[in-house]
Structure 1
Amino acid sequence: MDIRRLQAFVKIIDLGSISRAADLLNIAQPALSQQLAALESAFKQKLVIRSKSGVTPTTAGLELYRHAQTLIKQLDRAMVEISSGVGPLVGKVSVGLSPYSAGSTLAVDLLQRVRSRLPGITLHLTESFDDIYSELIMTGRLDMAVIHGSGPIKGVVFTPLMKEDFFLLAPLSLEFPQDSTGAVQLADIVDIPLLVPPKHNFVRSRIDMAFLRKQLKPNIIAEIEALLTLQESIAEGIGSTILPWSVASRIVVPDRSRIYPLRNPVIQEDVSLCIPETVPETEASVAVREQLIDLARAMATSRNWPGTQAS
């Protein structure tokens, strides 16, 4: 089994096209097709389905893609670790940080820590609404990820980091009934225009569930992924949103928007660190994971983060 054939197969699946993969790999398309045919012959399975729009993996192809990702990544790690010899930790560590969560808030602090304490490690940080981080971890494309939820998910190991309460972030011009602690009841915001993440986001699912349990229907006027757009829309009075403190505190605009605690019910979500169950960790990824856990737990116990509790 030639590792280059597996690398080419992964590129074909990533791009969804043999011709595009051939261009990127600087290989003639017939030669790349022959490599794919050799793989299908070796495994005695059809690995892709060809169509006018490109190629899609079969069930067997998806299984090979997952294993190939792991093998390629382990080979890359072995080459880095062996060539570097004894000395400071080196290598690339990829970390997924869930948008609209404390994970994204940790990004800059984590980068600073790694630069000062682990200078031989290159961090790859990603925040994406579209990617399913658990799948990227299982295939070896991510070393770890901070996500909402506590599992279980097959192939992924969860380490609880904290619990986050959600808060209302509203234009300063809006006024709400508040209890003695300054909190706003969910029933009192049912009619205000809400700007929320898309449905596949954990924050959105918790918002929807809270309203459903109170038999209320939220007035959702837009779904917004970009935090800068959300920040300015709220400051301009277009709508309000519901977010964890870690995110709301980053986009509140003094004299234009305000954060309120939410009650009845309290909306809360777990934040966890995920690593692969079967792919071995490198020394570099273990070192980064330890720094990430330390930062998250320091955040959870800080008085600067209301509504956040260590798990």
Structure 2
Amino acid sequence: MVDFEWYRSFIAIFKHNSVSEAAKTRIMTQPALSQHLACLESEVGEPLFIRTSRKMVPTERGKQLYSHLAPLIESLEEKTMSLKLHQGPTMNPIKIGATPELFTENILPHLSRLKLDTTTYFGDAEQLLELLKEERVDLILTNQRFLTPGIEYVRLMEESFVIVAPLETAVPDFTLLKEKERWLSEQKWISYGLELPIIRRYWKEFFKKGPLINPAHVIPSMHLILKAVEEGAGMSLLPTHILKHQNGTNPRWKFIFEDLKVHNEIFIGFKSKHKHVLIINEFIQRVSEEIRDEPRDVHLASNSY
């Protein structure tokens, strides 16, 4: 008869590719955990791992068994943890990595309805990836999907970027796209970074070449870029969803060439080995539902040129 603990030990070895690391996480001795694996392999009738000097490599049968067991075991563990948490006053905790803008626009408005305790860490896309790889966060909100082994992504939404300029900016009446490009290249630009993120995308998409501009100001905050635009420091590309709260309140900015919008996708990233963890799936589902039910784009016609 199979002991349930054999399964838990097998899952731990599969996740860590190591008997010693699995033993640490299970708070067991290595011999005891190895005995669990030996008993399970005897019951299955064939090896579940290939032992190497550096790690435990799962066999095809081991992979097959893991794919069947992991959702069941992790679901049982999560439900048990959920029952424990519901006995006290606290809610389920989750650690989130995000840029300040993505957190402010996509998480903060929904915090009260998520019914989760959260700890948030801020950084750029590469810093967030490192936090996730080191398991310092459970998931990340990011606009870059890196091809990293062991990391998976689900699409959360699409955001639209438009050129935003100081309200007093006078825009000539152009008929040709190359005239627009020439005029835009002569303007003062505010960028999120020295490498001209999203501005470079914009130029490539509409003008089929890289931008020949040097930013007048580099400000790594979309909200502060908007403030700088309002102060007349230059123009920039900003996502329309951060403008929706400002529209209709006498903004000191306006849209330029609002028909030329560039789109960018936002993803939630998480470790592949945690794809069946209940709290991560609940977070993704709840945030996706909240965002799906709200309008994403500001109405462009009210203050555009």
Instruction: Determine the structure 2 residue equivalent to 1:205.
Output: 197
Paired residues of 1:186 and 1:262 also in contact (CA < 8 A): no
Instruction: Determine the structure 2 residue equivalent to 1:94.
Output: 95
Amino acid at match of 2:170: E
- Mapping for residues 89-168 of structure 1, pairs under 5 Å: 90-101=91-102, 104-114=104-114, 118=115, 121-129=116-124, 132-168=127-163
Instruction: Determine the structure 1 residue equivalent to 2:288.
Output: 293
CA displacement at 1:141 relative to structure 2: 1.4
| Residue of 169, 174, 178 corresponding to 2:169 | 174
CA distance in 1, matches of 2:148, 2:298: 28
CA distance in 1, matches of 2:130, 2:290: 25
Show structure 2 runs of 5+ residues with no match: 1-19, 26-52, 55-73, 301-305
CA displacement at 1:303 relative to structure 2: 6.5
CA distance in 2, matches of 1:193, 1:260: 14
| Residue of 246, 250, 254 corresponding to 2:250 | 254
Amino acid at match of 1:96: G
Amino acid at match of 1:111: L
Amino acid at match of 1:127: F
Show structure 1 runs of 5+ residues with no match: 7-43, 46-73
Amino acid at match of 2:108: V
CA displacement at 1:197 relative to structure 2: 0.7
CA displacement at 1:161 relative to structure 2: 2.2
Aligned length: 224
Does residue 1:241 correspond to 2:242, yes or no?
A: no
What do residues 153-177 of structure 1 show as CA deviations (whole Å, max 9, x unaligned)? 3221111122222111111010224
CA displacement at 1:221 relative to structure 2: 0.7
CA displacement at 1:125 relative to structure 2: 2.6
Paired residues of 1:207 and 1:267 also in contact (CA < 8 A): no
Compare CA radii of gyration and give the structure with the larger one: 2
Q: Which stretch of structure 1 is more off in the superposition, 189-198 or 206-215?
A: 206-215
Amino acid at match of 2:168: S
CA displacement at 1:231 relative to structure 2: 3.1
Paired residues of 1:193 and 1:221 also in contact (CA < 8 A): yes
Paired residues of 1:90 and 1:284 also in contact (CA < 8 A): no
CA distance in 2, matches of 1:165, 1:131: 22
CA distance in 1, matches of 2:236, 2:138: 32
Bigger strand fraction: 1
Specify whether residues 296 and 82 from structure 1 end up closer, same or farther in structure 2 by C-alpha distance, changes over 3 A only.
closer
Amino acid at match of 1:205: P
Instruction: Determine the structure 1 residue equivalent to 2:17.
Output: none
Amino acid at match of 1:107: I
Give the match's secondary structure for 1:94. Answer: strand
Paired residues of 1:206 and 1:268 also in contact (CA < 8 A): no
Paired residues of 1:155 and 1:277 also in contact (CA < 8 A): yes
CA displacement at 1:185 relative to structure 2: 4.5
Amino acid at match of 1:125: T
Paired residues of 1:97 and 1:104 also in contact (CA < 8 A): no
Amino acid at match of 1:210: Y
Paired residues of 1:100 and 1:243 also in contact (CA < 8 A): no
Give the match's secondary structure for 1:220. Answer: coil
Amino acid at match of 2:134: T
Paired residues of 1:190 and 1:216 also in contact (CA < 8 A): yes
Specify whether residues 247 and 187 from structure 1 end up closer, same or farther in structure 2 by C-alpha distance, changes over 3 A only.
farther
Amino acid at match of 1:254: N
Give the match's secondary structure for 1:274. Answer: strand
> Under a length normalisation based on structure 1, what TM-score does the superposition of the two structures give?
0.58
CA displacement at 1:135 relative to structure 2: 2.4
Give the match's secondary structure for 1:140. Answer: coil
CA distance in 1, matches of 2:125, 2:296: 33
User: RMSD of the TM alignment (CA)?
Assistant: 3.9
Q: Which stretch of structure 1 is more off in the superposition, 219-228 or 164-173?
A: 219-228
Paired residues of 2:241 and 2:296 also in contact (CA < 8 A): no
Paired residues of 2:122 and 2:128 also in contact (CA < 8 A): no
CA distance in 1, matches of 2:134, 2:246: 34
CA displacement at 1:100 relative to structure 2: 4.5
Instruction: Determine the structure 2 residue equivalent to 1:53.
Output: none
Instruction: Determine the structure 2 residue equivalent to 1:188.
Output: 183
CA displacement at 1:250 relative to structure 2: 4.9
CA distance in 2, matches of 1:251, 1:217: 31
| Residue of 198, 209, 215 corresponding to 1:214 | 209
Paired residues of 1:100 and 1:244 also in contact (CA < 8 A): no
Amino acid at match of 1:92: P
CA displacement at 1:262 relative to structure 2: 4.2
| Residue of 283, 287, 291 corresponding to 2:278 | 283
Amino acid at match of 1:256: R
- Between the two proteins, what is the percent identity of the paired residues? 13
Give the match's secondary structure for 1:273. Answer: strand
CA distance in 2, matches of 1:220, 1:256: 21
